[in-house]
Amino acid sequence: MAFSATLSSSVSFNLDEWLRGASASSLRSSCSRSGRIRSSGAMKAGGAPAASERAVKAKVPHVLTVAGSDSGAGAGIQADLKACAARGVYCSTVITAVTAQNTVGVQGVDNVSEEFVAEQLESVLSDMQVDVVKTGMLPSAGIVRILSSSLNKFQVQALVVDPVMVSTSGDVLAGPSVLAVCREVLLPIADIVTPNLKEASALLGGMQLETIADMHSAAKLLHQMGSRHVLVKGGDLPGSCDAVDVFFDGERLHDLRAPRVKTRNTHGTGCTLASCIAAELAKGSPMLPAVQVAKRFVENALDYSKEISIGKGPQGPFDHFLMLNRKVHNFRKKMILDPSDLFLYAVTDSGMNGKWGRSIEDAVKAAIEGGATIIQLREKDAGTRNFLEAAKSCMEVCRSRGIPLLINDRIDIALACDADGVHVGQSDMPVRTARALLGPEKIIGVSCKTPEQAQQAYMDGADYIGSGGIYPTNTKENNLTIGLEGLKAVCLSSKLPVVAIGGIGISNAHSVMELGLPNLKGVAVVSALFDRECISTEARKLYEVLSRTASEVK
């Protein structure tokens, strides 16, 4: 389990890229087990990848956690599964104990028998290609010994030891005999050990740890016990406004500082941190970046979750997936597009709002007041920060009125303001990529001028088509006009709902909608609303024309 942090000096490591997870598979294939960069060769003559290379590409990074179950799911096995999933790594589990536990404390512990722990280890390790083993609650000395002999039998890349001894509520989860065996058989084969102050003190026979200098000494002593790397976590250090952890690689000490997040929801941070380290190692990361990424992940999750409320006790769990704190759940249950939402589709324009001296929010409010059924923010000239601020306010306006809000072109803004979706054109981000980024709940519309594009839009998983320009327009430069014939061809060649756009207003909306095509659901307009003195009045008039035509063609 030699896991060295050595990187070739010609290779620079981009922590942010790593954190996004984008480089995981590529880094994995370029890092050998020893952490040294190997050339990306392994190609057969003629350029085809060798069979072994293909096999490496299909391999999924895999962490095995050997830990206890937490019925409250904040810590233990449950935290490990969530952490690995959040970091894009497969996680298998060997359960050592089942705890009856909640945010108040640990009400009961039932250890799994040593034989059955051995059986679980054998099942997983004999079949699956585990990269990294991470340990948590090891409730008996026998279980520690069984784990140690399994690790002798089955080679893995790295061993992460989180020496869980006392729960965050103060309940003892592993006694002194376990400590002794951990020191004897686990630390010497550990690639990293991640004790908090209490655990480090217990491992070091009761050493007092009150300052960062004490943590430095502890890290060095634990290294002498055999662990290749040591992370002493200073979360409990009194009088520090930062969360300072001390990392020691056998040569250098690193003080890893991060602002302390003020929250009650810290149950499971230790398990999560160790699992994240394991996950990053499984992807092929060197040790220090793995620790840095894990620390930042936990910090981010704590910050995101600081207001969530689960359980009545003093210490709650946090959210590994950054999904639970969405105020959206309170307002809008329906995310998937209702085709009738396309009926009167208002598309904003920063130039027009500037010309008439209106804020985007006021323009959006007025359009909805007049009957707009969906809003798109198409702010081509806005700077990112202003656009985001306006988008957030418009989201509040739209959510409180039950109107979907989409963002034109900018997936980043849509994500940042939790918009209901995006509209993309043929030269914008492809629909499939946008879907991968936005997830299944969000609405994605795509512009189509031809039947081929319309067919593709359906195959790519778009929710609707915007088709135009139907008539000439000054709003979009060099835009090809496809006319009513073009619109008809697009509608007939797709199962998706279609909204017509381009040069449409009160005078010609009737001609568009009287085509009477079943999937033609409405019109999208920019200047007919936003380049007028009174947006709500124009929206009302347009709504009337559309309603009248709809009842005629029924």
Ligand X SMILES: Cc1ncc(COP(=O)(O)OP(=O)(O)O)c(N)n1
| Positions in the binding site for ligand TZP (CB under 6 A) | 468-469, 473, 475-476, 479, 501-504, 525-528
Residue 525's binding partner among ligand TZP, Mg ion, ligand X, none (Cβ under 5 to 8 angstroms by kind) is ligand TZP
Lookup: tokens for 169: 């509520």
Measured from the CB atom, is 371 or 502 closer to ligand TZP? Answer: 502
Near ligand X by CB under 6 A: residue from 99, 157, 305, 408: 408
Lookup: tokens for 444: 């994605």
Binding of residue 423 to ligand X (CB under 6 A): yes
Binding of residue 466 to ligand X (CB under 6 A): yes
Measured from the CB atom, is 273 or 465 closer to ligand X? Answer: 465
Q: Compute the distance between CA of residue 532 and CA of residue 472 in angstroms, rounded to an integer.
A: 18
Binding of residue 412 to ligand X (CB under 6 A): no
Annotated catalytic residue 266: yes
Residues found near Mg ion in the complex (CB under 5 A): 409, 425, 428
Measured from the CB atom, is 372 or 411 closer to Mg ion? Answer: 411
Q: Compute the distance between CA of residue 502 and CA of residue 520 in angstroms, rounded to an integer.
A: 15
Annotated catalytic residue 233: yes
Which residues on adjacent β-strands are paired with residue 524?
A: 345, 501
Near ligand X by CB under 6 A: residue from 476, 488, 510, 540: 476
First to last CA, the chain: 72
What type of residue is 162?
A: D
Lookup: tokens for 32: 């050998």
Binding of residue 345 to ligand X (CB under 6 A): yes
Q: What's the min distance (Å) between Cβ of 449 and ligand TZP? A: 9
Tell me which DSSP letter residue 166 carries: B
Measured from the CB atom, is 303 or 428 closer to Mg ion? Answer: 428
Q: Given the residues 68, 234, 268, 522, select the one marked as catalytic.
A: 268
Annotated catalytic residue 68: no
Residue 442's binding partner among ligand TZP, ligand X, Mg ion, none (Cβ under 5 to 8 angstroms by kind) is none
Nearest to 550 by CA among 518, 524, 514, 523: 514
Measured from the CB atom, is 390 or 499 closer to ligand X? Answer: 499
Contact of 160 with 92, CB cutoff 8 Å: no
Which residues on adjacent β-strands are paired with residue 501?
A: 468, 524
Task: Please report, for residues 2, 188, 279, 315, the alpha-carbon distance to residue 155 in angstroms, rounded to integers and kept in the order given.
Answer: 11, 15, 17, 37
Tell me how far the alpha carbon of residue 288 is from its chain's centroid: 22
Annotated catalytic residue 103: no
Q: Are strands 344-347 and 132-135 parallel, antiparallel or unpaired?
A: unpaired
Q: What's the min distance (Å) between Cβ of 409 and Mg ion? A: 4
E-strand stretches of 348-442: 374-377, 405-408, 421-424
Residues 80-109 that bind ligand X (CB under 6 A): none
Helices H / strands E in the chain, number of each: 22, 17
Lookup: tokens for 37: 């960069």
Measured from the CB atom, is 120 or 408 closer to Mg ion? Answer: 408
Binding of residue 378 to ligand X (CB under 6 A): yes
Measured from the CB atom, is 513 or 524 closer to ligand X? Answer: 524
Residue 345's binding partner among Mg ion, ligand X, ligand TZP, none (Cβ under 5 to 8 angstroms by kind) is ligand X
Strand order in the sheet with 106-111: 106-111, 90-101, 62-70, 132-135, 158-161, 192-193, 229-233, 242-248, 253-259
Q: Compute the distance between CA of residue 526 and CA of residue 351 in angstroms, rounded to an integer.
A: 11
Q: What's the min distance (Å) between Cβ of 340 and ligand TZP? A: 20
Tell me how far the alpha carbon of residue 17 is from its chain's centroid: 14
Measured from the CB atom, is 91 or 524 closer to ligand X? Answer: 524
Q: Given the residues 93, 194, 269, 549, select the one marked as catalytic.
A: 269
Q: Given the residues 134, 233, 295, 449, select the one marked as catalytic.
A: 233
Quick one: 186 exposed, middle or buried, by C-beta within 10 A (0-12, 13-18, 19+)? buried
**Residue count at the site for ligand X (CB under 6 A)?**
17
- The span of 155-163, 212-220, 422-430, 512-520 binding ligand X (CB under 6 A) equals 422-430
E-strand stretches of 306-430: 344-347, 374-377, 405-408, 421-424
Which residues on adjacent β-strands are paired with residue 522?
A: 499
- The span of 31-39, 48-56, 359-367, 417-425 binding ligand X (CB under 6 A) equals 417-425
Q: What's the min distance (Å) between Cβ of 365 and ligand TZP? A: 19
Q: What's the min distance (Å) between Cβ of 514 and ligand X? A: 20
Q: What's the min distance (Å) between Cβ of 355 and ligand X? A: 18
Residue 527's binding partner among ligand TZP, ligand X, Mg ion, none (Cβ under 5 to 8 angstroms by kind) is ligand TZP
Lookup: tokens for 367: 């359009």
Active site amino acids: 233, 266, 268-271
Residue ranges that bind ligand X, judged by CB under 6 A: 345, 347, 376, 378, 408-409, 423-425, 428, 445, 447, 466, 476, 499, 501, 524
